[in-house]
Structure 1
Amino acid sequence: MSMAVVGLIAGMALGFAGYFGGFGAFLLVAALGAIGFVVGRVLDGDLEPGDFFRRPSERDDRRR
């Protein structure tokens, strides 16, 4: 599935949440979507949990 289709689906989900549930539901769906995205990237191996806790200088040293 292309990233354009994923973006379309996410945008539609946020639109429906905002229309039917109000701004609070919109924020909840956006926050849960962001959390799900990060968890998915960690499970795919694209991110490591330690990446969120290291300083930028430590990240650069690890990748070299």
Structure 2
Amino acid sequence: MSTPVMQGVIAGLLLAVAAAVGGWSAFALAVFLGAVGGLVAAQASGRIDVVEAVSGRGRG
């Protein structure tokens, strides 16, 4: 298996464990923190510019 596939499988298993152990709130928190971590990693690697995306294009 390729690395992205393995990372996806591991992420899915961790989300399943969070849902099984902590219920819906733990699952939602795990998804939210995963998304925040993904944004931070993309910002650090230079793939996206979060400041530009948040500030908007047409504003003054």
Shorter chain as denominator, the TM-score bin is 0.7 to 0.9
Letter in 1 for 2:29: L
- In 1: Cα distance, 2:4 partner to 2:54 partner: 24
Query: CA offsets per residue over residues 6-63 of structure 1, 9 Å max, x none?
Result: 11111011000000110100000000000000100000000112123223xx6xxxxx
Give unpaired runs (5+ residues) of structure 1: 59-64
- In 2: Cα distance, 1:16 partner to 1:26 partner: 8
| Residue 13 of structure 1: aligned partner | 14
The TM-score normalised by the length of structure 2 is 0.82
